[in-house]
Chains A and B, each alone.
Chain A
Amino acid sequence: MDESVLFSVRLSLQVAIAATVWVVLVGTGMSFILARKSFRGKEILDILLTLPLVLPPTVTGYYLILFMGRNGLLGNALFRWTGWSIMFTWYAAVLASFIVALPLMIKTTRAAIESVDQNLIKVSYTLGHGELKTFFKVILPLSKKGIIAGAVLSFARAMGEFGATLMVAGNIPGKTNTMPIAIYTSASSGDWSKANMMVIFFTLVSAAFLYIANRLSKKGF
């Protein structure tokens, strides 16, 4: 396989894995809070976290530039403190994938947590276990299916991220050109054999993931 194709495949997997780890950690925590707590501004938080699901990825990317760019709210502070900017690094690709995949994780996981029988949670409390222990011993095992399905979907979504990634990480060959971006470049420059290879690879991997997600949501594992 072409050296540059191999790089893109590896980068895409690396970005997707890193993004998925964060998505699972943050998404599960957020889902628990949204499913079981009531507080002011809960609905606004829910909307903010879901927005990337419906916004065009370029809009999400634009917001990321506003926040994380060298002159952005957070990015500027980070740059002045460390002299480093996340823009146009593979970390930016991870961030973009994370933001875009997070709502998928939260939707599935929240539904799974909400469907855990309330009485089981009450029983756990009366048996002397506090909220944290109840979360790890009862809620988490019983919503495992939803969490894993959410993680698989998030991984697939993160691998396929294009728009927001292009805006914050750019298209730097050998540095930030993930598979979707490399496919776009190859197709627009007429390099069909390269594009074909990556498209077939991508389709197979995505189909495999959907198959896994389906099986998990049907019969567990």
Chain B
Amino acid sequence: MDPIIHMLDLVFQYKKDDLTPEEPAVDHVTLRIERGSFTAIIGRNGSGKSTLAKNINGLLIPTEGTVYVKGLDTADPDRIWEIRQTAGMVFQNPDNQLVSSIVEDDVAFGPENLGVEPGEIRKRVDESLYAVNMYEERKKAPHLLSGGQKQRVAIAGVVAMRPECIIFDEPTAMLDPHGRREVMCIIRKLHREGITIVLITHFMEEAAEAERVIIMDKGKVMMDGSPREVFARTEEIRSLDLDVPFTVDLAERLRSRGFPVPDGIIEEEEMADFLCQYKSRT
């Protein structure tokens, strides 16, 4: 089957006023994102993650190369609305994404712009608010909600457009631990329901929950694989100024003390299993 997102030799260069040649923000990236998959993209600030994401739904148009969303070329201005309907985006700051003074109006904003008929809008708004567990708060003013709740409303606004894919650009960066858990829970749920997820994050524990982790640096894809494969390469990851999840770090330190910790341990439960078995053998 065709991938839902297909980038072919994508290059993106921000225009600069001065004449000094700048490195491209995204530098010859070729990627396939399969339908229904859950991909995390990590990398330090300025590594090109967000630029890559904005190229997916046509917020930015490639300088070179091509991006296809469901087979549609993002550089084709006639297909841009179809593309944005297929691939929705959620950003870091929920305050910048909410436009109405009532939660349900805000969620209706997207479908209204698509020209969906009113009865169908009502249905979609309710469904989307249920999907993010915010139906009870539908009559409230967004500014009275917590950060996590606001972000869930922003997600509902995207869900109401019925996208096949949602790109999350650091959706939990501005939230407290509780809000972060709420939002991650919704992301997992949307994935289970079949939506393709692309999650950009600085939290390694969140990336570890994905099926696939892509590490970017200087506009290029440096690593690409399952969380187990990628996070096993601890030294390389640290050399890119990134962290590894706590359990991976602990496993590495225990190994250096002579514990026979198997490779690929990434979840705390697995580590606890190993320690119990190890203790019972000694």
The answer to whether A and B belong to the same complex is: no
Mark A residues whose CB is within 8 Å of B.
none
